[in-house]
């Protein structure tokens, strides 16, 4: 201390500052050298650029350009089901491949169609063991569509979407739903079956392949690397989607459920399922070649779907979205499934009752009583014919800018059938059977991400009319404190 005091007295402050700075620099230099030597002894982890999605503007909105599709098919089914794919495939906007189980030759003139996805040949899977008794070992080939699609090495990918050749997508809604999620995180998005038996036997936490499912880019890259070694551990599983789910489970990833994916594990008339769709965009439908045409007067399921897609062209995000309103004047209840059907009840029906799917369909498998159970908020088909709704199916849709008019009619055969059904019912002064046409007016629906995260059903009004054969309805957003209920 005495030395420092003498030193301070005999030297100027500038010299003291200079010496202090020099000591500090020497200290920092020595510290840096010691740290560098220590780090050189630690293992180095190299960044694998192949594991990172190619450079892109991550702030941009997700579009069809960011999605790659992998579609599983085979030589027999592709010939009969490719028309279902043609309904939704957009050649100039979509990327992906249909994976077949045979090697095409130059003589296959009609195999490749510019309006359909490219055709790819699946790799040989004979080296993998398959032990499920009575199952199809093609499940292994179909499962590997995941890794083979990733191996196509497309650039600027955010999502991989997988499905069967009889799956139909509503592409705009697929994009809209995927835009809710951060594609840089590990996501496995889809839905399970409507059949309780199917879920109980296979899994309640598995995305069913017929409904389709999406895997984010970084997760798909990791899954593809580990997939072959993983499926070797599961020779006893039945299907492809079970193998994919099991391998994702090994990576610690669970299913994120979206209600717009539909496996449609049911038979017969699926009207009840479609007419009471959840407040969520319709993403996919499956098995429509084995159920009744969704428009009962259409000659085939394909023609019926074409008719639905005509409406979807005008307002894809609103397709089959349910809206309920009450006609105060006649005490009627109206349920609009936009672009599909309008139901009119000649009575007041509680709103919660209408939001449940009417059981118009049959179990996917017959036999055991448990097969009659479905994973749906469901109500039984009305046994009293006089209490059933009069159904008007979509006839045509037109639009001018964002203003849309959809028209629903009771076709001749159905009108005669309904009148016979209600022939012995007591008639009231005005009956929905007297209606010939229902016109629904709306604006194009384009929900924001916030609206998708916190969805709200829209409202509707029955408009005054001087024509007893025509009902006019206006769809709109509900007011802040507006309630939808029966006015008794």
Residue range 173-213, pLDDT digits in tens: 999 999 999 999 999 999 999 999 999 999 999 999 999 99
Q: Out of 241, 257, 273, pick the residue that ends a domain.
A: 257
In a domain, 439, yes or no: yes
Q: Are residues 71 and 164 in the same domain?
A: yes
- Same structural domain for residues 70 and 209? yes
Are 224 and 349 in the same domain? Answer: no
Residue 39 lies in a domain: no
Residues 253 and 321 in one domain: no
More confident residue, 160 or 366: 160
Helix, strand, coil percent content, the chain, rounded in steps of 5: 35, 20, 45
Mark whether 365 and 246 lie in a shared domain. Answer: no
Close Cβ partners of 181 (under 8 Å, ≥ 6 residues apart): 187, 189, 216, 256
Q: Is 275 a domain residue? A: no
Of the candidates 244, 231, 176, which has an alpha carbon nearest to the alpha carbon of residue 205?
244
CA 340 to CA 390: how far, in whole Å?
Answer: 14
Query: Is 295 among the domain residues?
Result: no
pLDDT band at 486 (very low <50, low <70, confident <90, very high): confident
- Mean pLDDT, all residues of the chain: 88
Looking at the DSSP bridge assignments, the partners of residue 322 are 337
Q: Average of pLDDT values for 79-102? A: 95
Q: Are 283 and 169 in contact (CB under 8 A)?
A: yes
For 324, 456, 465, 478, 485, the CA distances from 482, given in Å and listed in that order, are 13, 12, 24, 6, 10
Structure tokens at 423: 């022939």
Q: How many domains does the chain have?
A: 2
The CATH number that applies at residue 250 is 3.90.550.50
User: What is the tens place of the pLDDT at every residue in 415-452?
Assistant: 666 666 666 676 666 789 999 999 999 999 999 999 99
Q: Are residues 173 and 78 in the same domain?
A: yes
Please compute, for residue 85, the number of CA atoms within 13 A of its CA located in the half-sphere on the CB side: 30
Q: Are residues 82 and 201 in the same domain?
A: yes
Contacts of 447 (CB under 8 A, 6+ apart): 176, 281, 317, 455
d(CA 353, CA 377): 10
Q: 213, 242, 257: which is the final residue of a domain?
A: 257
Is the pLDDT at 218 greater than 80, yes or no?
yes
Q: CA-based Rg of the chain, rounded to a whole angstrom?
A: 31
What range does the domain containing 178 cover?
64-257
179 inside domain: yes
What is the average per-residue pLDDT within 311-320?
98
Stronger pLDDT, 275 or 41, i.e. the higher one: 275
User: Above pLDDT 70, what percent of the chain?
Assistant: 83
The model's pLDDT over 130-140, given as tens digits with 9 standing for 90+, comes to: 999 999 999 99
Q: 389-405, pLDDT tens digit by residue?
A: 999 999 999 999 889 99
State whether 338 and 460 are in the same domain.
Answer: yes
For residues 448-464, average pLDDT: 96
pLDDT at 216 over 60: yes
Choose one of 233, 257, 281: the last residue of a domain. Answer: 257
Residue 338 has φ and ψ, to the nearest 5°, of: -60, 135
Give me the pLDDT at residue 29, please.
Answer: 54
Please tell me the distance from the alpha carbon of residue 335 to that of residue 458, in angstroms, as a whole number: 12
**Furthest C-alpha separation in the chain:** 122
Q: Is the pLDDT of residue 48 over 60?
A: no
In sequence order, what are the beta bridge partners of 119?
98
Q: What is the pLDDT of residue 438?
A: 97
Mean pLDDT (whole number) for 371-383: 91
256-257 and 188-190: which strand pairing?
parallel
pLDDT attached to residue 4: 44
pLDDT computed for residue 3 by the predictor: 44
Q: Write out the two tokens for 348.
A: 């007041």
What six digits make up the tokens of 310?
């005509």
d(CA 133, CA 136): 9
- Rounded to whole angstroms, the Cα distance separating 340 from 408 reads 8
User: Is there a single domain that holds both residue 458 and residue 388?
Assistant: yes
For residue 486, give Cα distances in angstroms to 276, 330, 337, 347, 379.
18, 12, 19, 10, 19
Instruction: Answer yes or no: do 118 and 232 share one domain.
Output: yes
pLDDT of residue 401: 87
Residue 41 has pLDDT above 60, yes or no: no
370 and 227 in a common domain: no
Phi and psi (nearest 5°) for 427? -90, 145
Within this chain, do residues 193 and 124 fall inside the same structural domain, yes or no? yes
Confidence of residue 17 (pLDDT cuts 50, 70, 90): low
Kindly state whether residue 211 falls inside one of the protein's structural domains: yes
Whole-number pLDDT of residue 354: 96
Residue 287 pLDDT > 50, yes or no?
yes
Banded pLDDT at 386 (limits 50, 70, 90): confident
106 is a domain residue? yes
DSSP type of residue 374: B
Say how far residue 276 (Cα) sits from the centre of its chain: 16
Residue 28 lies in a domain: no
Q: Is it the case that residue 5 has pLDDT exceeding 60?
A: no
């Amino acid at each position: 201390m005495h030395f420092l005091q003498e030193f301070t007295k005999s030297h100027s402050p500038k010299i003291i500052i200079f010496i202090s700075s020099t000591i500090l620099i020497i200290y920092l230099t020595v510290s840096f050298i010691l740290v560098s030597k220590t780090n050189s002894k630690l293992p180095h982890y190299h960044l694998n650029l192949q594991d990172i999605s190619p450079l892109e503007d991550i702030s941009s909105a997700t579009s069809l350009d960011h999605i790659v599709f992998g579609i599983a098919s085979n030589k027999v089914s592709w010939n009969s089901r490719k028309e279902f794919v043609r309904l939704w495939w957009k050649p100039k906007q979509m990327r992906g491949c249909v994976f077949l189980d045979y090697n095409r030759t130059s003589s296959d003139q009609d195999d490749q169609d510019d309006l359909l996805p490219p055709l790819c040949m699946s790799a040989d899977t004979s080296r993998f063991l398959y032990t499920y008794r009575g199952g199809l070992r093609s499940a292994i080939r179909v499962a590997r569509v995941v890794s083979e699609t990733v191996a196509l090495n497309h650039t600027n990918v955010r999502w991989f979407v997988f499905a069967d050749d009889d799956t139909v997508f509503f592409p705009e809604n697929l994009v809209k739903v995927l835009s809710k999620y951060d594609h840089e995180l590990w996501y496995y998005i889809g839905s399970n079956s409507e059949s309780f038996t199917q879920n109980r036997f296979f899994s309640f936490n598995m995305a069913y392949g017929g409904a389709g499912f999406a895997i984010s880019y970084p997760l798909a890259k990791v899954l593809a690397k580990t997939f072959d070694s993983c499926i070797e551990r599961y020779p006893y599983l039945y299907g492809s989607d079970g193998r994919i789910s099991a391998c994702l489970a090994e990576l610690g990833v669970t299913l994120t459920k979206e209600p717009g994916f539909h496996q449609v594990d049911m038979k017969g008339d699926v009207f009840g399922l479609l007419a009471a769709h959840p407040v969520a965009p319709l993403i996919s439908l499956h098995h429509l070649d084995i159920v009744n045409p969704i428009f009962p007067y259409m000659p085939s399921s394909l023609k019926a779907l074409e008719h639905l897609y005509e409406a979807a062209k005008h307002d894809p995000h609103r397709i089959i979205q349910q809206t309920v309103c009450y006609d105060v004047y006649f005490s009627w209840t109206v349920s609009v499934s936009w672009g599909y059907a309008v139901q009119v009840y000649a009575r007041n029906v509680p709103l919660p009752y209408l939001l449940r799917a009417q059981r118009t369909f049959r179990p996917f498998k017959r036999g055991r009583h448990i097969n009659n159970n479905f994973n749906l908020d469901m109500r039984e088909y009305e046994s009293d014919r006089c209490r059933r709704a009069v159904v008007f199916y979509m006839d045509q849709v037109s639009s001018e800018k964002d203003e849309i008019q959809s028209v629903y009619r009771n076709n001749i055969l159905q009108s005669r059938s309904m009148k016979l059904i209600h022939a012995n019912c007591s008639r009231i002064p005005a009956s929905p059977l007297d209606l010939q046409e229902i016109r629904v007016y709306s604006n194009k629906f384009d929900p924001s991400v916030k609206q998708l995260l916190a969805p709200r059903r829209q409202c509707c009004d029955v408009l005054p009319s001087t024509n007893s054969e025509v009902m006019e309805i206006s769809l709109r957003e509900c007011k802040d404190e507006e309630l939808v209920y029966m006015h008794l």
